[in-house]
Amino acid sequence: MKLFVGLGNPGASYARNRHNVGFMAVEAIASAHGFGPWRSKFHGEIAEGRLGVEKVLLLKPGTYMNLSGDAVRAALQFYKLEPDDVTVFHDELDLPSGRVRVKTGGGHAGHNGLRSIDAHIGPAFHRVRIGIGHPGDKRLVSPHVLGVALGDFAKGDAEWLDDLLRGIADGAPELAAGDTVRFLHRVGLAGRPPQAAKPGPEAAAQPETLAPAPRPERSPFQRLADRFR
C-alpha cells in the first residue's frame, strides 16, 4: 500500500489558498481514478482506491498545516507502513508557478507541514513539490500563501492550475509505481497547448487552386464592336 498525503488547511476559507494546492492534488487524483468517498479517519479525511496495481490511501490532514504529522503518523502506524511508502504533495515557494518536481528526503525549507511530518516519521519520505512562485519579498510570503484573497489563486491562474492538476492525476499511477520520470512527463504533457495538425502528403502534392473570377457583363455596343476587331 502507498500513502499519498495532500497538505493544506481545513475549512472553506482556505480552500483556494496556494498553501492548499496539496489538498487540490489528492482531490484531483481521487476524482480521476474513482476512489471511494472521503471519510473521517486519522485526524483528517481519507479516500481509498487503486492506481494501477497499487492500493493507495489518500489523506488530507484535518489538523491544520503545522500539525500535519499527527495524521500521517497515525495512518502509518495503523497500516504498518514505512516512510518510503509515503508521498507528500505540497506547495513550493522556490519553484515558479506551475512547475512540479519530485524528491526524496531533504529538509523542510521552513514549510510547517513538512516540518511536522519530519518530526513524526523522519525525513525519508517522497515529496511532490508544486510551484506557487515567490512574491519577491520575504515580508510578503505569509499573505502570498495564506492571506485572505491575496493568498488565493487568482482567476487568471485557473487555466494552468486545472491543467497541472489534471496532469498530476493522469500521472498518479506512474508515481505510485515509483516511475517519477513518466509521472513528470504526464504532468508536462497536460500543460502543453495542442499542436496544430500537419497537412498530409496528399495536401503537399496538390497545389492550391482558385476559381476563375467571373468576366464582367459587356454592353450590346461593346459586343458589336468586338465583331469588327
What's the CATH number where 186 sits? 3.40.50.1470
In a domain, 207, yes or no: no
Tell me how far apart the alpha carbons of residues 166 and 32 are, in angstroms, rounded to a whole number.
Answer: 8
- Asked if residue 208 is part of any domain, the answer here is no
Return the DSSP state at 186. Answer: H
Give CA–CA dist 158/106, Å, rounded.
Answer: 31
Residue 227 is placed in which grid cell?
A: 465583331
pLDDT at 167: 96
- 40 DSSP β-pair partners: 45
The Cα-based distances of 113 to 17, 37, 49, 217 in angstroms read: 15, 24, 24, 82
The domain in which residue 153 lies consists of 2-190
- Residue 56: strand, helix, or coil: strand
Q: CA triplet 108, 112, 117: central angle to 5 degrees?
A: 70
pLDDT at 166: 96
Number of independent structural domains in the chain = 1
The answer to whether residue 218 sits within a structural domain is no
User: Per DSSP, what are the bridge partners of residue 45?
Assistant: 40, 60
Q: For residue 90, is it within any domain? A: yes
Which listed residue (19, 43, 126, 144) is catalytic?
19
Per-residue confidence (pLDDT) for residue 205, from 0 to 100: 37
Q: What pLDDT shows up at residue 2? A: 98
**C-beta of residue 25 within 8 angstroms of C-beta of residue 56:** no
Domain assignment present for 169: yes
Q: Is 184 within a domain?
A: yes
Asked whether residue 130 is assigned to any structural domain, the reply reads yes
Contact 72, 79 (CB under 8 A): no
Series of mean pLDDT values for 10-residue runs along the chain (229 residues): 96 90 97 96 97 97 95 97 97 91 92 96 96 79 67 82 95 97 94 48 38 46 51
Alpha carbon distance 163, 166 (integer Å): 5
**Is residue 101 within 8 Å of 92, Cβ to Cβ?**
yes
- Respond yes or no: is residue 19 known to be catalytic: yes
Residue 227 lies in a domain: no
pTM of the model: 0.80
Integer Rg of the chain from CA: 28
What pLDDT does 155 receive?
82
Q: How far, in Å, CA of 168 to CA of 19, rounded?
A: 17
